[in-house]
Amino acid sequence: MKLEKNVLKAMNEQINKEFFSSYLYLSMSAYCESEGFPGCAKWLNVQSEEENEHGMKIYHFIHERGGRVELEAID
C-alpha cells in the first residue's frame, strides 16, 4: 500500500519531532546526571527512549509501505 504524498510528508515531520524530543530529553538527562540528580536523569532518559521508540515505529511503518524516510538535522 503506497502512502499518499501529504501523509508521507506529515509522517516524516512527525518522525523528526519524535527524534528531536528524544534528543532534548537525553540532553536534559545528561545535565541532571552531571548535577547530581540521578532520579530525574533516569526519568528523563526513559522519556528519551520512549520518544525514540515512537520515531522508530513511524520509520518502520513508512519503509514497510515503500516510502522514503527523510530525517532532518537536529538544531
Residue ranges of domains in the chain: 5-64
Nearest to 30 by CA among 50, 46, 44, 47: 44
CATH H-level, domain 5-64: superfamily: Ferritin, core subunit, four-helix bundle (1.20.1260.10)
Which pLDDT tens digits describe the chain residue by residue (75 residues)? Answer: 789 999 999 999 999 999 999 999 999 999 999 999 999 999 999 999 999 999 999 999 999 999 999 999 987
In this prediction the pTM is 0.90
Biggest alpha carbon distance in the chain?
50
Alpha-carbon distance of 65 to 72, in angstroms, equals 21
Predicted pLDDT at 1? 74
